[in-house]
Structures are given as structure tokens and as C-alpha cells.
């Protein structure tokens, strides 16, 4: 599975409520189109007007941390906007599994902040654990994404994978 | 391999040695779901079946108003269609919070992996198990009996001494957050040391409840005589305590003398804002709340009652108490604690999430410009009503003393007077 796109790098801890501010409580509204217009609104006001489909958000330690009430909007908003995935030094483990479960790629790549800058185009092979920085012409190898995660992402999320595993919804 | 408690529990459940960073589909021993949980594939595919109906617990905790009746009807249908035993369903009369009741009722055993839909599922880690929130992956866990988990690193937390009088798990977790927050993100706190025995199971549940607020995956308390005694009348199956190996690898090691923990307050607007009680003494409050999965247990209500006994709250304060479960309500009633609270001027509501749930179903709803002192989980703007209200969080003794004075107050003089009287 390959992710390719431009990088938006934030070296600090990117919290769930940085991805979509807490003042928009979309868990009650579940209007993900509207939600997607508020992505990174406080942290980087330039983001929303310049993001392109497939772009990747790169962060530091503990990406996605915060109260789990705000997790869903923090991956549904960017996903509806076309963000291709999250890479970070490390993730909040509950955020990470929730996002993967919803079909949003995320993976921990220690040292990623030294390898990319905002605007670089990168190509990330989840299965082999290789990231090419196409702008800088460099390559790094990291711990490849676990097959258990690739399986979920390729199915389009955990619910879809579960339905397939249980043989539900298949016309005889 | 020398293993942490986390590694031991997850290795035993998954049938192979696991290391931090491994991704596993780990079999769970049970799942607890509350009444506002989205049921995903079970709504879409009526023919979907839970993997083992006897291991599913349903708790009514978030919704109490009658206009939420359709949610409860939906769960009654789910319970019937899935063949979940009636004794696993904690509806009004037996209700309580989804990450308290499974422990009280003996569904959660030491050494096991236990999944909870609610964000605060780590609470049950007080019972020497790996308890965690499966959050939006819960329908999949219910269907398959396995959960997707990234094996976390663990932090060794040695506790010594005892908490000063009038302080609780609330102060300890604020202290952990303020002093060691960055060491804890994404990890599991594994407790040990002579100080553990001084914490009741109620207090341990209160500590483990804070995992989500600290950004930790969960916490695991060791097995000991205090826990064994608590579990004895409850457990439904035999169990064995799990302990770490002496040479286990920890990502960090901390030692906390409980006697050094100061009284602390968090807020307003963020759990990250933590200050000494002394820094906010005297701020006027309009509302006071004791309850939630953080501090609505018998210990918490008893401590509040010892501050309030024979006293009357300030008439300008709306003071509401919500026990965490019917078991706590029954014990607090039998022990006279409810009488003391009500006599002082508190409104005691049926058990549940009460005023803490972000869709607040409690009679305690904050208006613009109000200030509340609460023993609950979160102080995000809008958590208890108006986004223009301020929420400060503290232990229940501080909440009780503040209700008496109409401003944030130190409970220790009240507790001291009571101690002198009883001598």
C-alpha cells in the first residue's frame, strides 16, 4: 500500500483538538463536509486554502492526544478534505487505533521530522517500510506497517473488514 | 524474556510473546457498552452476531431523560436479538457507569484483557488487568471477540507513603499530570510499591480513570490483599494475579511519595491547567458537583459527607451529587451518607454519568458566566452546559467545602474539626 503526497509538517505535539478545534463539536452534528472546512484552523490558518488531495500531515510526539470525545472529528474532517494520512514520531495509541479503524492511515516513524520539510513530496510504501523524499532525493527505512493494520486500511476500515470476515452482506 | 505486566497480559491473551510496537488482534475476555454507543455494523446488518453474548455487559449511564427512551428501546431490542443474558444488562434499578459496574459485578478478572466502549475504559485497570477503551472499534470487537491493539511501552510507578488526610486519587492524578505528563503519553502506568496498599480499590479506580486525561493508554495496579478481598464476593470465575518480572524493561521509572502530593485543582477550560488549591481559594462558585466515573464512589461520597456533616451549604450554590452506580447508592444509603448529603442541602440524583456527560442529562446545567467546582472528569468549555461557564476540577472534599462557603475552599479545617470532635 502506497501513500504519496506533499508534507505539512508540525514539529510539536499535534493534539486531536489542533486537527479540528474543540469549539466545533461535530460528534453531535456529524456533518463531516462542514467539519473538513475547519481542519488545522488554529494551528495553521494557511492549511485549509492550500491543501491538496493526498497531502500528508506529519507531527512530533503523541500525535492525536487529547480527550477521545474529539477523536472522530480529528480524523473524519481531514479525511473528507482528502488528507492521505498521518505520520509522526509517535501517536496517542487510542487515537491511532481509532483512526486506522476508520480507514485513515497513520503510522509511527521515529525521526520523520528530520527527514521531511513542509512542501516536500514523499512516497511512503507502508508494506516495505520505505519513505522516499522525492523533493530531496533521499530515502529512509522504518518499521513497516503491521499486516494487521494494512489489512484494515485496504478493506477501507475495521467495520468493512469485520463484515467481510463474518461473510455478512454477501448475496448467496 | 523478562516482561512488564502489560506484556504478560497481552502475550497470554494472544498466545505469543509480544513486544512494544507490535500490532495484535488480541482476544478480549469481555466488552462493556453503554447506552449512547454507536453500534455500527449491528445496525447495518441485523444478522450480525456478537461473538459471545455471555461476555457482553450493557450499562445505562449516559441517558436518563425520558426523551432518550428510544435509545433504551434500541438496546432492549439488541439484547433480545443477541441473546445477551438479562443479568448482564444494567438498566434503571441496577444501573451504573459502564467502566465501574462490570468490576462490581465480577465480570472483570485480574490478568485479562477487557474492552470498554467509553473513553474512560482504563478505569478497570485498577483490578490488575489490561482494561482499555475500544472506542469506535467496539462493534468489531463485539463481533469478532478480538481488539486491534498496538502493544504499548510501560512506565514503572513506585508509590511510597500515604496520601495526606483529605486528599484523594484526584490530587494524585493531577500531580502525575503536572509533574510527569510527557513521560506518560501513549504508555501504560504500572504501579507497585508499599504505597499501593494504602489506596482503597475505590481510590485505585479513581487513579486509573485518569489514563485518558494523561494521554496514557491505560494503567495497571498490582494484585494484593486489598484487591483480593474486594474481588472475593464478586468474581464469576477463578483468577490469578499478574506481576511484572524483576528484569522487565520500562520506558521510564518514577517514584512518588504519596505524602508529598499537594491538594491540586485543574481548570478552567483545560485539564492541562493544574494549580495548587491555594491559588484559587476564594473564587466564587455557583454550582458544585460530586460524581462521575472519576469520583462518584463510596470513598468519595463518604469524604464529602465528613466535610458536610452537621453543616448547611451556601444557599447561592446548586449542589448535586450523582453516585457512580446503584451498588454505591445502596451502600451510601445504608451507611447514612446519603442522609448527611441531603441534610446539608445536596440534591442526590440516580446513578450514572450525571452532569459530566457532555450532553449533560443532569439537573445541574451551567449557564453563561457561571463557575462550577466538580470532582468529575473533564472541564472542556461546554462540558456541563454553557461554553461560557468555567469548570474547575478537584477532589470531592474540596467540592463539599466550596459548596459550604460559596467559593472555592480548603476542606481541611472542616475535616480537622470533625476529627477533634470524634476524639
**How high is the ipTM of this complex?**
0.88
Residues of chain A with pLDDT under 50: 171-172
Query: A145: which DSSP letter?
Result: P
Contacts of A161 in chain B (CB under 8 A): 140
> What is chain B's mean pLDDT, rounded?
94
Nearest residue in chain A measured CA to CA from B22: A146
Number of domains in chain A: 1
CB contact under 8 A, A101 and B148: yes
CB contact under 8 A, B382 and A149: no
- CA-nearest of B388, B409, B390 to B399 is B409
Residues of chain B with pLDDT under 70: 65-67, 418-423
Which architecture does CATH list for B264-422?
A: 2-Layer Sandwich (3.30)
Residue of B132, B136, B182 with shortest CB distance to A101: B136
CB contact under 8 A, B186 and A168: no
Q: Measure the CA–CA gap between B262 and B191, rounded to whole angstroms.
A: 20
Q: Measure the CA–CA gap between B66 and B28, rounded to whole angstroms.
A: 34
Q: Measure the CA–CA gap between B102 and B160, rounded to whole angstroms.
A: 29
Residue of A66, A68, A152 with shortest CB distance to B135: A68
Q: Measure the CA–CA gap between A170 and B1, rounded to whole angstroms.
A: 44
Q: Could you tell me where in chain B the CATH 3.30.499.10 domains are found? A: 5-258, 264-422
Residue of A66, A72, A166 with shortest CB distance to B143: A166
Residue of B186, B358, B380 with shortest CB distance to A92: B186
* Cell output for B347: 440534591
Ramachandran category for residue B230: left, alpha or beta (phi over 0 → left; psi -120 to 50 → alpha): alpha
Question: Is residue A65 a part of any domain in this protein?
Answer: yes
Q: Give me the phi and psi of B222, to 5 degrees please.
A: -75, 165
* Cell output for B78: 439488541
Residue of B136, B152, B217 with shortest CB distance to A102: B136
Q: Chain A: nearest CA to B63, how far in angstroms?
A: 15
Q: Measure the CA–CA gap between B219 and B212, rounded to whole angstroms.
A: 10
Q: Which residue has the cell 520539510?
A: A117
Alpha helices in B145-221 (DSSP H): 169-184, 201-208, 211-214
CB contact under 8 A, A62 and B185: yes
B178: exposed, middle or buried (Cβ count in 10 Å: 0-12, 13-18, 19+):
middle
Interface of chain A toward chain B, CB-CB under 8 angstroms: 13, 22-23, 25, 28, 61-62, 65-69, 71-72, 90-94, 96-98, 100-102, 108, 143, 146, 148-149, 152, 158-159, 161-163, 165-166, 168-169
B211 CB within 8 Å of a chain A CB: no
Quick one: pLDDT at residue B66? Answer: 66
Quick one: pLDDT at residue B422? Answer: 55
Ramachandran category for residue B111: left, alpha or beta (phi over 0 → left; psi -120 to 50 → alpha): left
Contacts of A100 in chain B (CB under 8 A): 148
Beta bridge partners, A99, equal none
Range of the domain at A162: 2-166
B380 CB within 8 Å of a chain A CB: yes
Quick one: pLDDT at residue A172? Answer: 44
CATH at A130: 3.20.19.10
CB contact under 8 A, B136 and A25: no
Q: Chain B: nearest CA to A60, how far in angstroms?
A: 12
* Cell output for B51: 461473538
Window B:146-165, CB contacts with A under 8 Å = 148-150, 152
Domain B5-258 has CATH 3.90.1150.10: no
Q: Chain A: nearest CA to B306, how far in angstroms?
A: 32
A54: exposed, middle or buried (Cβ count in 10 Å: 0-12, 13-18, 19+):
middle
- CA-nearest of A1, A13, A9 to A121 is A9
Contacts of A97 in chain B (CB under 8 A): 135, 137, 148-150
Q: Measure the CA–CA gap between B123 and B219, rounded to whole angstroms.
A: 8
Q: Which residues contact B367 (CB under 8 A, 6 or more apart)?
A: B385, B386, B389
Q: Chain B: nearest CA to A50, how far in angstroms?
A: 30
CB contact under 8 A, A163 and B215: no
Q: How does pLDDT run across B289-317, given as a tens digit for each residue?
A: 999 999 999 999 999 999 999 999 999 99
Residue of A66, A98, A146 with shortest CB distance to B137: A98
Question: Is residue A172 a part of any domain in this protein?
Answer: no
- CA-nearest of B58, B69, B128, B125 to B95 is B58
Q: Measure the CA–CA gap between B58 and B52, rounded to whole angstroms.
A: 13
3-state SS class at A131: strand
Q: How does pLDDT run across B389-407, given as a tens digit for each residue?
A: 999 999 999 999 999 999 9
Quick one: pLDDT at residue B73? Answer: 83
Nearest residue in chain B measured CA to CA from A98: B136
Q: Measure the CA–CA gap between A8 and A86, rounded to whole angstroms.
A: 10
Contacts of B381 in chain A (CB under 8 A): 22-23
Q: What is the largest CA-CA distance in chain A?
A: 53
Residue of A66, A94, A166 with shortest CB distance to B217: A94
Contacts of A110 in chain B (CB under 8 A): none
CB contact under 8 A, B47 and A146: no
CB contact under 8 A, B152 and A93: yes
> What is chain A's mean pLDDT, rounded?
92
pTM of the model as a whole: 0.94
Rg (alpha carbons) of chain A, rounded to whole number? 16
B31 CB within 8 Å of a chain A CB: no
Amino acid at each position: 500500500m502506497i501513500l504519496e503526497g506533499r508534507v505539512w509538517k508540525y514539529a510539536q505535539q499535534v493534539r486531536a483538538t489542533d486537527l479540528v478545534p474543540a469549539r466545533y463539536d461535530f460528534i453531535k452534528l456529524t456533518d463531516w463536509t462542514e467539519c473538513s472546512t475547519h481542519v488545522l484552523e488554529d494551528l495553521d490558518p494557511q492549511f485549509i486554502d492550500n491543501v491538496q488531495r493526498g497531502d500528508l500531515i506529519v507531527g512530533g510526539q503523541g500525535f492525536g492526544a487529547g480527550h477521545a470525545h474529539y477523536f472522530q472529528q480529528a480524523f473524519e474532517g481531514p479525511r473528507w478534505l482528502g488528507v492521505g494520512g498521518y505520520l509522526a514520531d509517535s501517536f496517542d495509541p487510542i487515537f491511532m487505533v481509532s483512526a486506522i479503524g476508520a480507514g485513515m492511515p497513520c503510522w509511527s516513524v521515529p525521526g520523520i521530522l528530520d527527514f521531511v520539510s513542509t512542501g516536500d513530496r514523499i512516497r511512503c510504501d507502508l508494506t516495505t517500510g520505505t519513505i522516499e523524499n522525492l523533493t530531496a532525493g533521499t530515502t529512509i527505512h522504518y518499521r513497516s506497517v503491521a499486516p494487521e493494520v494494512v489489512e484494515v486500511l485496504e478493506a477501507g476500515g475495521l467495520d468493512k473488514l469485520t463484515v467481510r470476515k463474518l461473510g455478512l452482506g454477501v448475496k448467496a | 524474556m523478562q516482561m512488564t505486566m502489560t506484556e504478560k497480559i497481552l502475550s497470554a491473551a494472544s498466545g505469543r510473546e509480544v513486544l512494544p510496537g507490535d500490532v495484535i488482534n488480541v482476544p478480549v475476555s469481555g466488552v462493556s457498552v453503554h447506552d449512547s454507543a454507536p453500534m455500527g455494523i449491528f445496525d447495518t446488518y441485523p444478522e450480525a452476531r456478537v461473538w459471545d453474548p455471555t461476555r457482553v455487559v450493557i450499562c445505562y449511564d449516559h441517558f436518563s431523560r425520558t426523551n432518550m427512551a428510544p435509545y433504551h428501546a434500541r438496546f432492549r431490542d439488541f439484547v433480545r436479538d443477541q441473546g445477551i443474558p438479562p443479568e448482564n444488562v444494567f438498566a434503571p434499578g441496577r444501573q451504573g457507569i459502564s467502566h465501574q459496574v462490570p468490576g462490581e459485578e465480577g465480570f472483570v478478572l485480574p490478568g485479562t484483557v477487557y474492552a470498554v466502549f467509553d473513553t474512560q475504559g482504563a478505569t478497570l485497570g485498577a483490578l490488575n488487568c489490561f482494561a482499555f477503551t475500544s472506542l469506535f472499534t467496539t462493534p468489531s470487537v463485539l463481533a469478532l471477540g478480538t481488539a486491534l491493539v498496538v502493544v504499548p511501552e510501560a512506565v514503572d510507578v513506585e508509590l511510597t507513603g500515604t496520601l495526606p488526610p483529605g486528599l484523594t486519587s484526584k490530587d494524585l492524578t493531577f500531580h502525575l499530570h503536572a509533574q510527569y505528563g510527557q513521560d506518560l503519553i501513549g504508555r501504560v502506568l504500572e504501579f507497585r510499591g508499599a504505597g499501593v496498599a494504602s489506596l482503597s480499590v475505590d481510590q485505585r479506580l479513581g487513579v486509573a480513570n485518569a489514563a485518558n486525561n494523561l494521554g496514557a493508554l491505560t494503567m495497571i495496579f498490582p494484585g494484593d490483599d486489598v484487591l483480593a478481598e474486594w474481588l472475593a464476593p464478586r468474581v464469576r470465575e477463578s483468577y490469578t494475579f499478574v506481576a511484572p518480572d524483576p528484569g522487565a524493561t520500562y520506558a521510564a521509572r518514577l517514584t512518588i511519595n504519596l505524602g508529598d502530593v499537594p491538594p491540586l485543582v485543574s481548570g478552567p477550560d483545560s485539564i492541562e491547567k493544574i494549580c495548587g488549591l491555594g491559588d484559587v481559594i476564594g473564587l466564587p462558585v455557583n454550582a458544585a458537583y460530586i460524581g462521575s466515573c472519576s469520583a462518584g464512589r463510596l470513598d468519595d461520597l463518604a469524604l464529602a459527607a465528613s466535610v458536610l456533616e452537621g453543616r448547611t451549604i451556601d444557599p447561592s450554590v446548586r449542589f448535586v451529587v450523582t453516585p457512580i452506580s446503584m451498588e454505591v447508592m445502596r451502600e451510601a444509603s445504608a451507611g447514612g451518607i446519603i442522609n448527611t448529603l441531603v441534610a446539608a442541602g445536596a440534591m442526590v440524583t440516580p446513578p450514572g454519568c450525571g452532569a459530566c456527560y457532555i450532553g449533560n442529562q443532569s439537573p445541574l446545567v451551567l449557564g453563561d458566566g457561571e463557575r462550577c467546582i466538580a470532582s468529575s472528569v473533564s472541564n472542556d468549555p461546554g462540558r456541563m452546559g454553557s461554553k461560557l461557564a468555567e469548570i474547575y476540577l478537584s477532589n470531592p472534599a474540596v467540592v463539599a467545602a466550596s459548596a459550604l462557603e460559596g467559593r472555592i475552599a480548603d476542606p481541611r479545617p472542616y475535616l480537622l474539626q470533625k476529627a477533634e470532635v470524634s476524639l
